[in-house]
Amino acid sequence: MDKTDPSIAVVDNCPVYPLVTFRMKGLHMDTQRIKQLESRSLLIAMWGNLFMGAAGILAAVLSNSTAIMMDGLFSLVGFTAAFLGRKISRRVDAGPDRLRPMGYAADEALFSTFRALSLLGLVMFAMTSAGVNIYKYLQGEATPELSFGPLFVYFVVIGGTSFLLWALHRYTWSRTGKVSEILRLEAKASLFDGIITAAAGAGLGAVYFFQDGFLAPIAPIGDSIVVLILCLTAIGQYRRNLVSGMGELVGATANPKAVAAARRAIRPSVADDGGVVTDLSVMKLGRTHLVSVYYNPQRPIDAGEADQLNLRMIHDVREALSGADVILIISEHPRRWPDELDPF
């Protein structure tokens, strides 16, 4: 513990640790600055996705392409996500209050979960639509002929915009210490959107160049086949995001690296105090980690000493897990009561 650290106040010879700053791999940045950078990145994402969504719908109408319509709808979901994510990021690190006794960190996990769920719903809708088109073609029904002119312009402009948004989110995420789940998810979504756009362009380009050759039998439904392939590729990505978000919401244990980092971080505080950690749990919730330390001080301890020990643990754990919070539980027992003591 460094009592010369200017970020640590000393009152009555006891260090008082700040709860409003992050130390992130050599970067010291207050939460207000992080919010400003996040807000700017998400504002640009809002208008970028709105532009791509409108362009996708227009290009789909002009070209009769289901694949482009799906791409445009993905972008409109991205606009809604950026709008909601911007609102959530403004208050995600707010402390507990009467309305939310555990704070607002769960909003970020909720955002990730429902964003993935909405995208999965859109993927299932697109797959169903493409499947119906293929079935009608196999039954002998005529399919609308694609107009390739607007498509190639769309692929270049929208693909470039997606990759620029990915670069912006990735840069902002890194600059703010890689703690924002919203920016991380938006960066992945922008990159995936760019890859889907490029793949759709490659698939429809192949249909265009070989529609009178070996692809002639499937050329009328080439657009629907491209949609099915892209959707099957996307399902795995969005399913992983959904499972991850739901795991955070139900309070699943964080990954082993985070648990190990928390254990290492609290060792100096425990060694100085002389007690024993009977158990430790770590849960990830959005950009934060909630660390519960079950601690037996092995001596009488008053509330003030417990508070100072808790604050030391918070300070040390935040050096390893940015934005983490620590709940200190004074007890002889771990998280589960022994059977002989549990009256239920």
User: What does the pLDDT look like over 285-306, one tens digit per residue?
Assistant: 877 889 999 999 999 999 999 9
Mean pLDDT of all residues in 84-94 = 78
How do the domains of the chain map onto residue ranges? 22-249, 254-330
Helix axes 66-91, 222-249, angle to 10 degrees: 20
Mean pLDDT of all residues in 230-251 = 83
SS3 call for 225: helix
- CA atoms of 93 and 112, how far apart (whole Å): 16
- CA atoms of 134 and 288, how far apart (whole Å): 46
**H helix intervals, the chain:** 31-63, 66-91, 106-138, 149-175, 181-210, 222-249, 256-273, 303-320
* pLDDT band, residue 112 (cuts 50/70/90): confident
Mean pLDDT of all residues in 124-141 = 82
| Beta bridge partners of residue 283, listed in sequence order | 253, 290
pLDDT score, position 174? 86
User: Chain-wide mean pLDDT for the chain?
Assistant: 80
Share of the chain above pLDDT 70, in %: 90
Pairing of strands 325-330, 288-296: parallel
Q: What is the pTM of this model?
A: 0.66
Strand order across the beta sheet in which 288-296 lies: 276-285, 288-296, 325-330
pLDDT score, position 296? 94
Specify the fold of 22-249.
Answer: Alpha-lytic protease prodomain-like (1.20.1510)
Highest mean pLDDT among 1-15, 50-64, 67-81, 193-207: 50-64
First to last CA, the chain: 42
Look-up: residue for tokens 């919203």?
182
pLDDT at 266 over 90: yes
The answer to whether the CB of 110 falls within 8 A of the CB of 117 is no
- Which tokens is 216 given? 């002639």
Q: Tell which CATH classification among 1.10.10.10, 3.50.50.60, 3.40.50.1400, 3.30.70.1350 matches the domain 254-330.
A: 3.30.70.1350
Highest mean pLDDT among 86-100, 106-120, 188-202, 326-340: 326-340
Mean pLDDT of all residues in 83-103 = 78
Cβ atoms within 10 Å of 19's Cβ, excluding its own: 14
* pLDDT band, residue 31 (cuts 50/70/90): low
pLDDT at 5 over 70: no
- CA atoms of 161 and 155, how far apart (whole Å): 10
- CA atoms of 286 and 219, how far apart (whole Å): 45
- CA atoms of 248 and 40, how far apart (whole Å): 26
pLDDT at 125 over 60: yes
DSSP 17-77: --SSEEEETTEEEEHHHHHHHHHHHHHHHHHHHHHHHHHHHHHHHHHT-HHHHHHHHHHHH
- What's CA 137's distance to the chain center, in Å? 40
- CA atoms of 173 and 47, how far apart (whole Å): 19
- CA atoms of 103 and 91, how far apart (whole Å): 9
pLDDT score, position 168? 92
CA distances from 236 to 70, 119, 126, 148, 241 (A): 17, 11, 15, 30, 9
Sign of CA pseudo-dihedral 223, 200, 234, 106:
negative
pLDDT score, position 180? 77
- CA atoms of 285 and 103, how far apart (whole Å): 11
Name the nearest CA neighbour of 152 among 58, 59, 267.
Answer: 59
- CA atoms of 54 and 166, how far apart (whole Å): 19
Angle at 284 between CA 280 and CA 286, to 5 degrees: 155
Pairing of strands 276-285, 325-330: unpaired
Mean pLDDT of all residues in 39-44 = 89
